[in-house]
Amino acid sequence: MSKLVTIYGGSGFVGRYVARRMAKQGWRVRVAVRRPNEAMHVKPYGAVGQVEPVLCNIRDDASVALAMQGADAVVNCVGTFDKGGKNNFEAVQVEGAERVARLAAQEGLGNLVHISAIGADAESDSTYQRTKAAGEAAVQAAFPNAVILRPSVIFGQEDGFFNRFATMTRFGPVLPVVGADTKFQPVYVDNVAEAAEKAVLGQVEPGVYELGGPDVETFRELMQGMLSAIYRRRIVLNLPFFAANIVGGLLDFASAVTLGLITNTVLTKDQVKSLKKDNVVSEGAKGLEDLGVKPTAYPAVISEYLWRFRPQGQYDDITASAKNLNI
Ligand SMILES: NC(=O)c1ccc[n+]([C@@H]2O[C@H](COP(=O)([O-])OP(=O)(O)OC[C@H]3O[C@@H](n4cnc5c(N)ncnc54)[C@H](OP(=O)(O)O)[C@@H]3O)[C@@H](O)[C@H]2O)c1
């Protein structure tokens, strides 16, 4: 019987790349999510029945244990930006992370991979970053041999970063950003997945790895890189932190008074706090090189999926190549 890996959050942006890699390795893959009916896109990653979405809520012991039954390794890709509601920071990023690690240790599983984030810090002002740090601590206490991966902002076809700002270019000549001078080190989603794959296969030392790509750029520079990929010119406007705080507060308030009917996916006060600090690999941290993963630069990849935001979509390149035709 081939080996089995359970990927909590295996239908999400990062999880699906991990699922695909493990399927290619010949493993059976169990994708444990709250909405397996919306996770059918993972099934063609393998042969019939090789990749199976199953119902699981990381907030519940019994359901996490059931999804783990018979597994040889687990990967936890569940995270949230949601402060309120049941699926909040504490429930998912601390208690959920601890639950997966504790049950994996009880089951005697070989390898556990936990996806955290650069910036995880017990002293941070941001609840996202504090709960990421608390989650890491809980994982290491329960499963000391865990491999913890801390990516910077992740890019790839389904990303929520470049796609979001490229979408915003459709609304007018100004592209507002918060923390234009904050530095990021974008990492390719499949590089993160490759790191997770190696950890599942037991090819890396346990510990914490910070994952960043080859480019360290400010938010403003990244936006300029994105604009040149979509052949558009926009004014990148830096929204001062105090103004962003007011906007985030109003949006959080709208979400709270409507009891979550309006979800704030635009900008939260907590995100404003984390945007104040650079999001790059720390000095001396272990990273992609230690994992034997060659980092991919973002300019080489984003054009492959952001072309739809160009003024004439896929036809821009055809028009440009036809310009020199002598007809
Ligand atoms: N994307 C980035 O740029 C980035 C950067 C740094 C770190 N990270 C971290 O990387 C990890 C993966 O991020 P992502 O971008 O792939 O997230 P994502 O696309 O939002 O995916 C989240 C996944 O978790 C599942 N999930 C959510 N709540 C759950 C629950 N209570 N029980 C079981 N499954 C649940 C979701 O499926 P259902 O909704 O069907 O349950 C989905 O499959 C997270 O820990 C995130 O913090 C991401």
pLDDT digits (tens, 9 = 90+) for 232-269: 999 999 999 999 999 999 998 888 888 877 888 889 99
Q: Give the H/E segment covering residue 64.
A: helix 61-68
Taking phi over 0 as left and psi of -120 to 50 as alpha, with beta for the rest, 89 belongs to alpha
- In this predicted model, what pLDDT tens digit does every residue of 287-315 receive, in sequence order? 999 999 999 999 989 999 999 999 999 99
Per-residue pLDDT at 156: 98
Round the average pLDDT of the chain to a whole number and report it.
96
User: Ligand 1 within 6 A of 153 CB?
Assistant: yes
With a 6 A CB cut-off, is 248 part of the ligand 1 pocket? Answer: no
Other Cβ atoms closer than 10 A to 173: 10
Residues contacting residue 130 through CB under 8 Å, at least 6 positions apart: 121, 122, 123, 124
**Tens of pLDDT along 1-30?**
899 999 999 999 999 999 999 999 999 999
Task: State whether the beta carbon of 154 lies less than 6 angstroms from ligand 1.
Answer: yes
Pocket perturbation via mutation, ligand 1, pick of 7, 8, 14, 222 by most ligand atoms within 8 A of CB: 14
58 pocket-lining for ligand 1 (C-beta < 6 Å)? yes
| Strand 111-115 relative to strand 73-76, pairing | parallel
34 lines ligand 1 (CB under 6 A): yes
The pTM for the full model equals 0.96
Residue 327, pLDDT > 70, answer no
Distance (Å, rounded) from C-alpha 40 to C-alpha 15? 13
**Residues 142, 98: contact at Cβ < 8 Å?**
yes
